[in-house]
Structure 1
């Protein structure tokens, strides 16, 4: 059964994490994704570990459900081939800087000339109407300038990076839903449009949902930073043999927590029962939780938290996620036989549609694996494709075993 975006064709002119993950989401939803790369390929192809050069783990995890073609867009024939693909595409998602795309003659207005209905999603580091417009942006930079790194340091500590490409992955969600919104708008109006998705503005808006705090008012009622998130003891709690996450949140849960862990002296404490005072003194309460939990075994405190009806969970190491009983029950990790890379363990699309399921239809492709078939579909003859290969405009990346059969 086809996915909800079945019949939508998207050209993916992105690399690293922000764009590729967004395009993968759209591919999971059933869209046909054509990833366009240079001869060198997406830089994540080379990030170790990998079985074979060019199929690094990062690339593998962000580029399923795509066909891959190599095009040198600086060459006339490469540019012509790209515009030929634009003619039959519904959308483009591009992380090349807008000024560079315009110099190539492949900006929104150029693409609109060959396809008036095209949706063109430009992924940028900073909004193009501001003074940072031309600045390069990677995840670490955006973590810093958006306040994300400062948040990790709490009230007093130095800025720290989140140990993940968190801005890339959050912004990829925004890019994916902005693409879907623009396509929905086109269904109603018949008109395509240019959509700009800036990382900086997206992350500032994301961070300040709770962290704008007192600065949400004019004049300000206090400093920025959501108190509960900034305190020292908001972290997994050390037990006698591991770590747990525990989150008494409302008054009922706080009272239940202290009743079940043998701290009846805290049940009538004003910090527990007065929501305003609790929010102001939350750091003190979290410190008490840490002191209580440290003498319990992980299994015992988890069982007690369940009885108390207090939200809780084990602090699971990354390498143990595939063994989690819930992950196993929902079959979130699946093993696939890749034609060149052997067995791959991939995560399943997390969204479940009752009528239009998301699924993994294509495994991550080799560099240029689909160049020939995509160019043929676009109307190029074998002689023209041969010339493009001879001139380095494209690359035939089909596995050797498949080349002869495809001829």
Structure 2
């Protein structure tokens, strides 16, 4: 038993935000049917690296799904899709706003054939507003949403965050929206549209930075590894690397001063409370940095952690996936792929005690489940399926050539 058993999702999305959303739903038990165009999800060709013939990028967000290929530019392809949607609970798409309407499969059409359908639309700027028709990508949303302006070192050019947080965050909000819509449908008996954008995601994550701006009227500036409201709460350099420390309370501060051999700081009025430390950070941080240059990262972490103050190293990926805690939390899993063999993937971030999610299957081959879905769910005979393939309406699964 998984929480979303019995929920069927038609996944029209591609690349990252939508596939991350639908993968999360699939991990929790939903049946996800990934509908690809005859060209396939763009990310099937994004690489290197490839694992044999499969793009590592594509593999990262498409597990636990079925893949069918439909040409939605044909009337027959649209008819097949609408028949599938009649038997579905959720549709997820991340086309530019207006695309579904142009194809005559927009929300108004979908709810006429299935009043319970939930349509989740992920876009760069949302379904309304002056920017709604613009194409939206992660790097653009990070910039317009303010994240780039506060990332990086002071007095240096703005920096994009290393993960695609606008895309992934929008995918997560879409999951939240879909689950809320499913709960609402239990009460009303009707579906609804979920409208999520990358830009709204970035703005929703501003939290205290937005509040700081509203309170002061001052634009937040990049702090490097530091925090605008708490000192010291940041990255420091040791004699052999880097580590983060979070001195978040006055009790922490007193212990911190003692354990690093700087007990004189406790009695200095310039640093006696967090507000004073924020005001005088330009004098305090270099003083602390000189101290931290005297020992290794491992030594400082052992010393600081002994007091209960949060701290930790800055790990590279080869270190992350050897970390005993990461492994104990099952954040590295291995599945068997039909062409790539055994592949490693990141694990489920949400742990449910009674109805846990599960990684059941590897990401599907291109069109791997076209025949299965169209025969069992679409009610088509083998002859009808072969005829549709000859017309170019569908494609059946095939093993790609090794790259």
TM-score with structure 1 length normalisation? 0.92
Q: For 1:286-323, what per-residue CA distance to the aligned partner results, in whole angstroms no more than 9, with x for missing partners?
A: 33332221111122111101112210111111122110
Asked whether the equivalents of residues 153 and 222 of structure 2 are also in contact (C-alpha less than 8 Å), the reply is no
**Rounded Cα–Cα distance in structure 2 between residues aligned with 1:74 and 1:154:** 48
Q: CA deviation at 1:31?
A: 0.8
Q: CA deviation at 1:233?
A: 9.0
Q: CA 1:360 to 1:283, structure 2 compared with 1: closer, same or farther past 3 Å?
A: farther
1:216 is aligned to 2:214:
yes
Residue 40 of structure 1: aligned partner: 39
Residue 107 of structure 1: aligned partner: 106
RMSD: 2.1
Structure 2: gaps (5+ residues): none
Residue 201 of structure 2: aligned partner: 202
**Rounded Cα–Cα distance in structure 1 between residues aligned with 2:322 and 2:153:** 33
Query: Which 10-residue stretch deviates more, 92-101 or 231-240?
Result: 231-240
Asked whether the equivalents of residues 91 and 119 of structure 1 are also in contact (C-alpha less than 8 Å), the reply is yes
Residue 257 of structure 1: aligned partner: 256
Residue 379 of structure 1: aligned partner: 379
Q: For 1:240-295, what per-residue CA distance to the aligned partner results, in whole angstroms no more than 9, with x for missing partners?
A: 12221111111111221111111111112234332322333345433333222111
After the TM superposition, which residues 24-103 of structure 1 pair with which residues of structure 2 at under 5 Å, given as runs? Answer: 24-47=23-46, 48-53=48-53, 55-103=54-102
1:229 is aligned to 2:241:
no
**Rounded Cα–Cα distance in structure 2 between residues aligned with 1:148 and 1:221:** 17
Describe the SS at the equivalent of 1:120: strand
Describe the SS at the equivalent of 1:212: helix
Q: CA deviation at 1:115?
A: 0.6
Q: CA deviation at 1:162?
A: 1.1
Describe the SS at the equivalent of 2:295: coil
TM-score with structure 2 length normalisation? 0.93
Q: CA deviation at 1:350?
A: 1.9
Q: CA deviation at 1:221?
A: 5.1
**Rounded Cα–Cα distance in structure 2 between residues aligned with 1:303 and 1:318:** 22
Q: Which has the larger helix fraction?
A: 1
Residue 293 of structure 1: aligned partner: 292
**Rounded Cα–Cα distance in structure 1 between residues aligned with 2:75 and 2:164:** 35
Residue 404 of structure 1: aligned partner: none
Residue 395 of structure 2: aligned partner: 395
Residue 157 of structure 1: aligned partner: 156
Q: For 1:170-206, what per-residue CA distance to the aligned partner results, in whole angstroms no more than 9, with x for missing partners?
A: 1111111111111111011111011111211221121
Structure 1: gaps (5+ residues): 401-407
Query: Which 10-residue stretch deviates more, 323-332 or 372-381?
Result: 323-332
Residue 275 of structure 2: aligned partner: 276
After the TM superposition, which residues 130-209 of structure 1 pair with which residues of structure 2 at under 5 Å, given as runs? Answer: 130-153=129-152, 156-207=155-206, 209=207
Aligned length: 395
Asked whether the equivalents of residues 233 and 290 of structure 1 are also in contact (C-alpha less than 8 Å), the reply is no
Residue 116 of structure 2: aligned partner: 117
Asked whether the equivalents of residues 26 and 65 of structure 2 are also in contact (C-alpha less than 8 Å), the reply is yes
Asked whether the equivalents of residues 233 and 287 of structure 1 are also in contact (C-alpha less than 8 Å), the reply is no
Q: For 1:61-93, what per-residue CA distance to the aligned partner results, in whole angstroms no more than 9, with x for missing partners?
A: 111111111111111111011001100000101
1:315 is aligned to 2:328:
no
**Rounded Cα–Cα distance in structure 2 between residues aligned with 1:174 and 1:187:** 20
Residue 365 of structure 1: aligned partner: 364
